[in-house]
């Protein structure tokens, strides 16, 4: 059986034929599903030249069905006339379609799958409508983005109404469920069984090394972090903060500049570093160099996969009670939640972690337990059981496909 997956994450092929994905989280997801199929065909943008190091696809049964490169809907829709024939040819040869949404090409691939009577399942990983308040656009651009958001929201709901659908977190599952067609809650992850660490609590050392892993764009709430560091220093905590992640477009460049300017203005420029994108295979071991994790994200997320990555590395976390996060993080059990990501609220919870050894070690222990429950292997097995029974398709045993 051939599984076709459509998504917007770019890939490229190395000199030896190895497939690489830019960020890594999608590559690991593909590898987790590959053992259940004879072939996994990725209908994704394909770069002609490598973009950084990337993360390699390890499974030998993954192939590419190239789309033109696009960063978002502005680049995708002018190419639609050339994309549709490719999607039609691809839709004929796959046996089962999987759409990760929101994603510009997904609704067209889904319509083609229905035309050819192919079964399909959908994974909703984000909420465009919830992102609207944090988008930096003004005037005509804001109006156009709002119109596109409503168009894409309708597309996602149409797919959810006509396919077996999973959603990343409780909030997205509730949003897209309808009477008689419930959406299945899941949790996207990047960690495997081998990624769960076992290291001692390191937060009692100095300086306290804080970590944020996130794309740099206005939707992630990162601009508050220089003020957070300032408040911690004023409270007597010797703290540094590394922000790791790619800058996303012009809004991301503006956000990066604003973070650095804010850090300089508050006198903590020497304590905050923005390290850029790091491939997932190098990123996961990096977590072990830090003492705590902070993510002051805004609405629009499902469940950020970086929270499980931090838990698996033994880092106590502070994050926001938004979207699907409360479905993963229970306050004062496996993490600390703030209602609003203000500097005072975030700094206050980070201060609790640093000063309260008993609380901190309890968060670390429960974080490890949570990470073990949501590994790639466990999540793929649960999802594929639902796909097999819900769509009446026969899947392979996961041990059959070899992984390099």
User: What integer pLDDT is reported at residue 130 of this predicted model?
Assistant: 80
Task: From 156, 154, 150, select the one nearest 102 (Cα to Cα).
Answer: 156
pLDDT less than 70: residues of the chain = 134, 300-301, 399-404
User: What integer pLDDT is reported at residue 303 of this predicted model?
Assistant: 83
Return the domain boundaries, the chain: 2-189+375-391, 193-373
User: What integer pLDDT is reported at residue 400 of this predicted model?
Assistant: 43
Sheet holding 317-320, edge to edge: 272-276, 239-244, 208-213, 292-295, 317-320, 336-338
User: What integer pLDDT is reported at residue 301 of this predicted model?
Assistant: 67
Bridge partners (DSSP) listed for residue 67: 45
Q: Which CATH number fits domain 2-189+375-391: 3.60.15.10, 3.40.50.2000, 3.40.5.10, 3.40.50.1860?
A: 3.40.50.2000
- The helix (H) or strand (E) run that includes residue 242 is strand 239-244
Count other C-beta atoms under 10 Å from residue 189's C-beta: 28
Distance from C-alpha of 304 to C-alpha of 311, rounded to nearest angstrom: 12
Q: How far is CA 331 from CA 223, 265, 342, in A?
A: 23, 32, 17
User: What integer pLDDT is reported at residue 401 of this predicted model?
Assistant: 40
Q: Over the chain, what is the mean pLDDT? A: 92
Bridge partners (DSSP) listed for residue 244: 213, 276
User: What integer pLDDT is reported at residue 255 of this predicted model?
Assistant: 92
Q: Check if 2-189+375-391 and 193-373 are the same fold.
A: yes
User: What integer pLDDT is reported at residue 48 of this predicted model?
Assistant: 87
For domain 193-373, the CATH architecture is 3-Layer(aba) Sandwich (3.40)
- The pTM of the full predicted model, rounded to 2 decimals, is 0.83
User: What integer pLDDT is reported at residue 30 of this predicted model?
Assistant: 97
Cis amide prior to 362 (ω within 30 degrees): no
Is the distance from CB of 296 to CB of 162 less than 8 angstroms? no
Distance from C-alpha of 209 to C-alpha of 271, rounded to nearest angstrom: 10
Distance from C-alpha of 52 to C-alpha of 211, rounded to nearest angstrom: 22
């Amino acid at each position: 059986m051939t599984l076709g997956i459509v998504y917007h994450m770019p890939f490229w092929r190395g000199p030896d034929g190895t497939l690489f994905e830019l960020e890594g989280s999608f590559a690991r997801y593909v590898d987790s599903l590959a053992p259940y199929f004879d072939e996994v065909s990725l209908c994704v943008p394909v770069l002609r030249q490598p973009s950084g190091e990337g993360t390699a696809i390890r499974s030998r049964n993954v192939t590419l069905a190239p789309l033109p490169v696009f960063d978002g809907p502005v680049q995708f829709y002018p190419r639609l006339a050339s994309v549709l024939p490719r999607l039609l040819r691809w839709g004929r040869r796959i046996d089962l379609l999987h759409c990760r949404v929101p994603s510009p090409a997904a609704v067209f691939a889904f319509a083609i799958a229905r035309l050819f009577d192919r079964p399909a399942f959908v994974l909703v990983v984000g909420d465009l409508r919830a992102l609207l308040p944090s988008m930096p656009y003004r005037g005509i651009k804001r109006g156009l983005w709002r119109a596109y958001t409503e168009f894409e929201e309708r597309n996602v709901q149409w797919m959810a109404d006509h396919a077996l659908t999973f959603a990343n977190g409780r909030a997205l599952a509730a949003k897209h469920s309808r009477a008689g067609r419930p959406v299945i809650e899941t949790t996207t992850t990047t960690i495997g069984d081998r990624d769960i660490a076992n290291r001692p609590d390191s937060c009692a050392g100095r300086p306290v090394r804080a970590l944020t892993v996130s794309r740099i764009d206005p939707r992630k709430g990162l601009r508050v972090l220089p003020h957070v560091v300032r408040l911690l220093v004023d409270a007597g905590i010797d703290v540094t903060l590394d922000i790791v992640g790619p800058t996303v477009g012009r809004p991301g460049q503006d956000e990066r500049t604003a973070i650095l300017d804010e850090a300089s203005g508050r006198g903590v420029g020497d304590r905050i570093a923005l390290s850029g994108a790091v491939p997932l295979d190098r990123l996961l071991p990096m977590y072990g160099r830090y003492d705590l994790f902070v993510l002051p994200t805004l609405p629009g997320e499902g469940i950020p996969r970086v929270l499980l990555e931090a838990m698996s590395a033994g880092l106590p976390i502070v994050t926001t009670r938004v979207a699907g996060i409360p479905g993963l993080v229970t306050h004062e059990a496996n993490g600390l939640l703030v209602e609003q990501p203000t500097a005072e609220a975030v700094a206050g919870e980070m201060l609790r972690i640093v000063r309260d050894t008993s609380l901190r070690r309890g968060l670390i222990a429960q974080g490890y337990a949570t990470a073990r429950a949501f590994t790639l292997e466990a999540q793929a097995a649960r999802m594929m059981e639902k796909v097999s029974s819900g769509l009446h398709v026969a899947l392979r045993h996961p041990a059959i496909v070899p992984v390099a």
